[in-house]
């Protein structure tokens, strides 16, 4: 009986959620410049006198309801859809016919003095011409207002959607980047107050990365909070500057994450760990082969000595790129010079020639003895670091979610997501 009751409850929930609709997206404008998509706020590089075709269309809002009722409308479970499209939808519920339709759409292109707009027969398309005059930056503002009407028998109601988009233009060859660091870039017009806050944000990013290298995760957490506060302050200052000077234009671009390098170090350190783990057996073999060499040099013993040296050099070459840079970040007391084959011995492996046989045998023997002594401690430190570094994944996810949620500035991922 309890099982039957539980099943009925689950079915009610499944039915209830089966027809739930997503909220309509906020109305926005899709822009194409000469057929290529462009985003509002984007700065386009142009030439004096250049002509461009601008094609715009409103999306989101009531248009979402009409085009995609299976996603944005709450009628699909019980209604029969008779027609649907970007300008309206007609459906029938319980024998009642209902309709949403676009009554009127007004599109306005508003340029500054450096852009000339020429309308076409289609109000959503305009030809613009860039001025021959010298200017650093120009803009074109686009406004679309759509009026919708709902009809069901005698019942009529209306809805209105409005959206704006602004495109900026700069002359080719003139860069408008005025702030650029590892994680931030700002374009447009420089402002000292904003510059100061951008530096604060980069400082917070640097602090996060540094604390990752120190494996100080409580400090990482605090630094992330500092970053969020710095970004909020930056936005407030940008808003204040724009409010006090409506013609001011700047775009902030966040680049990558403060966790990018530590995150890539996870896989690199795993590869380092695996190669390091295999070194112990190799060192023992090299010592045994070295002990078999005669005290006096012969052509055969020199050739064998070169082979023994080459074994270690090959191991060194198989280490991932920047191995010692990565290790120095997390294990600063691991001395890379004690790991690398000494230059005078390494040179023999490259040239395949032994000039001082007794000296080389003695130097190699001492080097291998020290490596055998140091290796267990190195392996322990590398293994421990590789294990602890897994925590970066959690913070990396937090940072990725945070930056992707910022809607007032652009975020460019450096890892393809």
pLDDT in tens, the chain (417 residues): 444 444 443 333 333 333 447 889 999 999 999 999 998 878 788 999 999 999 999 999 999 999 998 888 777 567 889 999 999 999 998 888 999 999 999 999 999 889 999 999 999 999 999 999 877 678 899 999 999 999 998 899 999 999 999 888 888 776 678 789 999 999 887 788 999 999 999 999 999 999 999 999 999 999 999 999 999 999 999 999 888 877 678 899 999 999 999 999 999 999 999 999 999 999 999 999 999 999 898 999 999 999 999 999 999 999 998 999 999 999 999 999 999 999 999 999 999 989 899 999 999 999 999 999 999 999 999 999 999 999 999 999 999 999 999 999 999 999 876
DSSP H stretches of helix in 73-214: 192-213
Q: Do 67 and 151 share a domain, yes or no? A: yes
CB-hemisphere CA count at 13 Å for 131? 16
Q: Do 234 and 271 share a domain, yes or no? A: no
- Among the candidates 141, 174, 207, a domain finishes at 174
Q: Do 139 and 226 share a domain, yes or no? A: no
- Among the candidates 255, 281, 311, a domain finishes at 255
Nearest to 176 by CA among 134, 137, 218, 216: 137
Q: Does some domain include residue 7?
A: no
Nearest to 336 by CA among 372, 364, 378: 378
Q: Are strands 125-130 and 138-152 parallel, antiparallel or unpaired?
A: unpaired
State how far the Cα of 98 lies from the Cα of 91, in Å rounded to an integer: 5
State how far the Cα of 96 lies from the Cα of 105, in Å rounded to an integer: 28
- Among the candidates 228, 255, 282, a domain finishes at 255
Q: Do 229 and 289 share a domain, yes or no? A: no
Nearest to 324 by CA among 313, 312, 314, 337: 337
Q: Count of domains in the chain?
A: 3
Q: Does some domain include residue 3?
A: no
The reported pTM is: 0.57
Q: Does some domain include residue 179?
A: no
Give, for 129, the enclosing helix (H) or strand (E).
strand 125-130
Nearest to 348 by CA among 305, 300, 408: 305
Question: What DSSP character marks residue 373?
Answer: H
Residue 230: give the domain boundaries: 189-255
Nearest to 377 by CA among 333, 337, 342: 333
Q: Does some domain include residue 416?
A: no
Q: Which tokens in the block code for residue 101?
A: 């339709």
Q: Does some domain include residue 182?
A: no
Q: Does some domain include residue 75?
A: yes
Q: Does some domain include residue 210?
A: yes
Q: Which tokens in the block code for residue 33?
A: 């410049």
State how far the Cα of 266 lies from the Cα of 329, in Å rounded to an integer: 12
Q: Do 251 and 267 share a domain, yes or no? A: no
Asked if 262 and 385 count as a contact pair (C-beta separation under 8 A), the reply is: no
Q: Do 289 and 372 share a domain, yes or no? A: yes
């Amino acid at each position: 009986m309890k099982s039957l009751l539980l099943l009925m409850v689950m079915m009610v929930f499944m039915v209830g959620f089966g027809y739930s609709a997503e909220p309509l997206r906020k109305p926005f404008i899709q822009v194409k410049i000469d057929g290529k998509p462009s985003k509002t706020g984007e700065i386009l590089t142009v030439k004096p006198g250049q002509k461009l075709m601008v094609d715009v269309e409103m999306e989101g809002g009531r248009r979402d309801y009409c085009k995609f009722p299976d996603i944005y409308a709450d009628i699909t479970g019980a209604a029969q859809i008779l027609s649907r499209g970007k300008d309206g939808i007609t459906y029938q519920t319980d024998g009642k016919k209902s309709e949403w339709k676009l009554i009127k759409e007004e599109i306005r292109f508003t340029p500054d003095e450096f852009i000339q707009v020429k309308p076409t027969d289609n109000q959503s398309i305009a030809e613009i011409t860039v001025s021959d005059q010298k200017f650093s930056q120009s803009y074109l503002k686009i406004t679309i207002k759509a009026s919708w009407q709902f009809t069901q028998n005698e019942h009529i109601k209306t809805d209105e959607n409005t959206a704006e988009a602004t495109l900026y233009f700069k002359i080719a060859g003139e860069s408008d980047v005025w702030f650029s660091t590892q994680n931030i870039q700002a374009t447009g017009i420089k402002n000292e107050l904003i510059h100061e806050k951008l530096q604060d944000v980069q400082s917070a990013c640097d602090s996060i990365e540094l604390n990752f290298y120190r494996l100080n995760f409580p400090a990482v957490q605090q630094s992330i909070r500092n970053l969020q506060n710095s970004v909020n302050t930056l936005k407030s200052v940008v808003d204040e500057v724009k409010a006090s000077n409506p013609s001011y234009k700047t775009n902030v671009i966040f680049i990558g994450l403060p966790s990018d390098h530590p995150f890539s170090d996870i896989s690199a350190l795993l590869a380092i760990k695996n190669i390091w783990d295999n070194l112990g057996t190799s060192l023992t073999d090299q010592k045994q082969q070295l002990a078999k060499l005669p005290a006096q040099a012969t052509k055969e013993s020199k050739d064998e000595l070169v082979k023994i040296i080459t074994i270690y050099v090959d191991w060194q070459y198989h280490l991932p790129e920047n191995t010692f840079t990565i290790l120095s970040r997390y294990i600063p007391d691991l001395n890379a010079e004690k790991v690398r084959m000494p230059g005078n011995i390494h040179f023999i492996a490259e040239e395949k020639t032994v000039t001082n046989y007794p000296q080389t045998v003695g130097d190699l023997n001492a080097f291998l003895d020290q490596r055998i002594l140091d290796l267990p401690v190195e392996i322990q430190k590398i293994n421990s670091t590789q294990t602890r570094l897994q925590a970066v994944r959690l913070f990396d996810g937090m940072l990725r979610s945070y930056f992707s949620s910022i809607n007032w500035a652009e975020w460019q991922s450096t890892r393809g997501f």
